[in-house]
Amino acid sequence: MIVSRILISCFCCNIVLASCLMAQESSPPADLSHPFLQVDLSPKASPVGIPKVETLSPKQLQIVNLGRKLFFDPALSVDGSTSCATCHRPEHGFSSPLKLPTGVADREAKRHAPAILNRHLGSIQFWDGRMETLEEQALQPIETENELANSIEAVLKMLAESDEYKKAFDAAFDDGVTKQNLAKAIANFERALITAESPIDRFVTARESVLTKSQRQGLWLYESKGGCWQCHTGQNYADEKFHNTGVSWGVGDLGRSEHTGDESHTGQFKTPTLRNAALTGPYMHDGSIKTLREVVEFYNQGGTENPYLDAKIKPLNLTEQEIDDLVEFLKALEGRYIWENPKQAEVVGDLEGSGEE
């Protein structure tokens, strides 16, 4: 029945996670006392919904914890004001509460900051797919002018001159502070950001009776009339492919074609995960849609017509109640971060909120 197809399905939309603040606001500074920095990142062996999570060795855990420190440290930016966590905030599903997050000198990012969740399942990075690996992705924000606006050389010099960082790099890597190890540390921390065990996971995988009637109806719509599964598929509810849905068509961002040079890729952006979507508005590659209901309404109308509109995007003819049910389904995809200490993980997952492009 509906459960049989859940892990190969989800909602065709460029939905990205954050809260609904105005674009001109500044990103809040990174908090180096954030409770997340005290959480034990050792993963559970088999979280419900994301099977086969590998247990970290002591060496791997050293690398992940080093990456976490780097991720939160504004010292990586040119003026000490901005970190990766400035845009990718734990309390917002590792996305931003802003439509377009701001980096050094309050410069706006080109695109909304997508959620960094379950990227160990990903195959390509950034909204336009311009990088293949997390290691490649991890370094780019450091040198991007409207993000950290620094240079890799300057960051490596700072790290090598820091007794604390030098000790941490020497413990984690045989060759200490290098560009490759900087990338590996941040990338492996990002791979440890695993979320699962949502009510949907528990209903589908563990057969627990945890869904409301509306959530169950939304799950059925996701698999049938809504057609969501065509793009939002797999364990992370994302096909890792690129689609033109017509979001903000005509405003100037050409999407994937800027990277590939292929005109047929105009307006295409990578499908984001639906996991923890309730935490991560505003949505889409440009943060232009504020609420989950508005996202569903956008797809219900068939996106925005344009010459490159994906063939999958068509009017859905959903009723008001069906729209509500799909929204409830999306909310039921909110899980928790998967680490060995459930109490610590739940504290982080329940924090209320105050990148990668």
pLDDT score at 30: 53
Where b means 16+ CB within 10 Å and e means fewer, 144-155 reads bebbbbbeeeeb
Select the CATH number that applies to the domain covering 2-13+196-336 from these four: 1.20.1740.10, 3.30.450.20, 2.60.40.10, 1.10.760.10. Answer: 1.10.760.10
Q: 338, 194 in Cβ contact below 8 A? A: yes
List C-alpha distances in Å: 169 to 72, 102, 115, 316: 16, 29, 27, 53
Strands 336-337 and 195-196: antiparallel
- Taking alpha carbons only, the member of 350, 355, 356, 357 closest to residue 92 is 350
Interacting residues of 157 by C-beta distance below 8 A, sequence separation 6+: none
DSSP string, 175-214: T-S-HHHHHHHHHHHHHT--EE--HHHHHHTS------HH
- pLDDT for 349 equals 32
Domain ranges of the chain: 2-13+196-336, 35-194+340-349
Nearest to 77, CA basis, from 90, 87, 65: 87
Local structure of residue 232 (DSSP, 8 states): S
What pLDDT does residue 28 have?
60
Q: Which residues touch 4 (CB under 8 Å, ≥6 apart)?
A: none
Cβ atoms of 236 and 15 closer than 8 Å = no
* pLDDT < 50: residue spans in the chain: 1-24, 341-355
- pLDDT of 3 reads 39
CB 75 within 8 A of CB 84: no
Q: How far is CA 75 from CA 149, 157, 287, in A?
A: 11, 12, 27
φ, ψ dihedrals at 152, nearest 5°: -60, -40
pLDDT of res. 352? 27
Start-to-end CA span in the chain (Å): 37
Residue 196 parent element (H or E) = strand 195-196
Determine the CATH number of domain 35-194+340-349: 1.10.760.10
Segment (H or E) for 288: none
- Whether the ω angle into residue 282 lies within 30 degrees of 0, i.e. cis, is yes
